Amino acid sequence: MCSVEAHQQSDPLVGTVLDRRYEVQTPIATGGMSTVYRGLDTRLDRPVAVKVMDSRYAGDAHFLARFQREARAVARLSHPGLVAVYDQGGGGTAHQPPFLVMELIEGGTLRELLTERGPMPPHAVAAVLTPVLGGLAVAHRAGLVHRDIKPENVLISDGGDVKIADFGLVRAVAEAKITSTSVILGTAAYLSPEQVSTGDADPRSDVYAVGILTYELLSGVTPFTGDSALSVAYQRMDHDVRPPSTVIAGVPPEFDALVRRATARDPADRYADADAMSDDLHDIVAELGLPAFRVPAPRNSAQHLAATRVHSRQDPPTEMTPPPMPQPAHPPVPPRQLTRELTRDQDWAPVPDGSADYNEYPAAATRFAGIEMSEFYWAQQRAKRALAFWVIAVLTFTGLVAVAAWTLGSNIAALI
């Protein structure tokens, strides 16, 4: 029996119905604060995601009040780049911990996509950042700050939609004065300097996290490493984020500048909010002529595995239907590797065992969506040449029309 199945059978929530409406079917992911389950809204007969908070939050009146306020505030937001919040409940007793009911994204996380495919070319990065910044901009205008932007909280649907999840939870947990080592581990790489030093956060803190995210999408790694999560968090107090082009070749200077401004140590030097950063990204896309791109969902995602488990229980084999093929286990996670210079024409060499350097994520690849990185560069060059050809053709035609008009005007009297 695999560990996931064992955990599922030992989980007392699996099979229960919350608030006499939401059936808990199977776990998708577990973190320091909560567990996300695939569920079913039995009233509307639609699949949902149910985020159930840890039992230590049950009965905490201060946390529950903040949790309910944040859930109501996020539920009022509407944007294609935000995961919709449908309902919240629970928390009265330890037997019914607080929970959120959210839109179920059939796909996976940006972390899973990065693990599968490695760093992205600039136009794919822009395709991820555009909905992320759009969703954040709506929240910032409503006075909300996410506080925990990272690849795990960016979801990608099988249809290519990119959405942000988990608004408001970090603030509710922080005000409840309940900490978790795993929460710190999960966010250390993306915290802004002011979050590390004082715990304060505003829209510019989200901008900093998006800057780190942009760096990682382009290079495949985060900018700071160390021997502990605390060391990683404190490095941003004294060091600037270096340009991603120093890690991987082919990053345009415009993206270096975007990352540099978003990750400035002084909040006053950053973009004021997601709207301002989004405007700059839009200008960069237009200036570089980046093509549109549909972001692919990860193939081997926890959500897909959860859906397979649910469907296999709901559709037992019959005489007319052959039994389902056994699902392959997740591929083993490669060993953690040191960060070093990476080009688009080479893979990382494995790091010798025994290295003590802390690096959260596996090595990057030289292909994205099954295409060599260099192909994206030459496609852009061909597009530029085609544009130049048409500009010259239009100018030439306009000139010929002008000459013909001038000649006709000069000889109009003779013709009459």
Rounded to the nearest 5 degrees, what angle is found at the Cα of 347, between the Cα atoms of 344 and 352?
A: 145
> Residues 125, 131, 135, 138: is their CA dihedral positive or negative?
positive
Q: Are residues 376 and 247 in the same domain?
A: no
Choosing from 45, 54, 87, 148, which is the catalytic residue?
Answer: 148
**Nearest CA-CA partner of 270 in 229, 230, 241:** 241
Segments of the chain with pLDDT less than 70: 1-9, 32, 92-95, 168-186, 313-380, 383, 410-416
What the block records as the tokens of 259 is 């990352």
In a domain, 399, yes or no: yes
Q: Are residues 111 and 216 in the same domain?
A: yes
Q: Are residues 232 and 102 in the same domain?
A: yes
Its domain, for residue 278, covers 3-288
State whether residue 48 is helix, strand or coil: strand
148 is catalytic: yes
Is residue 139 within 8 Å of 85, Cβ to Cβ? no
- C-alpha dist (Å) from residue 105 to 114, 156, 267, 307, 345: 18, 7, 33, 11, 34
In whole angstroms, give the CA distance from residue 28 to residue 65: 27
Owner of token pair 């909010």 = 273
In a domain, 400, yes or no: yes
Q: Are residues 241 and 378 in the same domain?
A: no
Q: What is the largest CA-CA distance in the chain?
A: 101
CATH number at residue 171: 1.10.510.10
The pLDDT score that the predictor gives to residue 118 is: 94
In a domain, 410, yes or no: no
Provide Rg for the chain, Cα atoms.
25
Boundary-marking domain end, from 231, 253, 288: 288
Q: What is the pLDDT of residues 299-318, one digit of tens each?
A: 988 888 888 888 776 655 44
In a domain, 215, yes or no: yes
In a domain, 360, yes or no: no
Phi-psi region of 364 (alpha: psi -120 to 50; beta: other; left: phi over 0): beta
Is residue 261 within 8 Å of 273, Cβ to Cβ? no
The pLDDT score that the predictor gives to residue 348 is: 34
Boundary-marking domain end, from 288, 303, 322: 288
The pLDDT score that the predictor gives to residue 290 is: 97
The pLDDT score that the predictor gives to residue 324 is: 54
In a domain, 366, yes or no: no
Boundary-marking domain end, from 237, 270, 288: 288
State the DSSP code for 107.
E
In a domain, 334, yes or no: no
The model's pTM? 0.72
In whole angstroms, give the CA distance from residue 179 to residue 230: 14
The pLDDT score that the predictor gives to residue 109 is: 96
The pLDDT score that the predictor gives to residue 352 is: 43
Provide the number of structural domains found in the chain. Answer: 2
**H or E element, residue 372:** strand 371-372
In a domain, 308, yes or no: no
The pLDDT score that the predictor gives to residue 360 is: 43
The pLDDT score that the predictor gives to residue 121 is: 96
- C-alpha dist (Å) from residue 9 to 216, 310, 391, 394: 36, 13, 65, 69
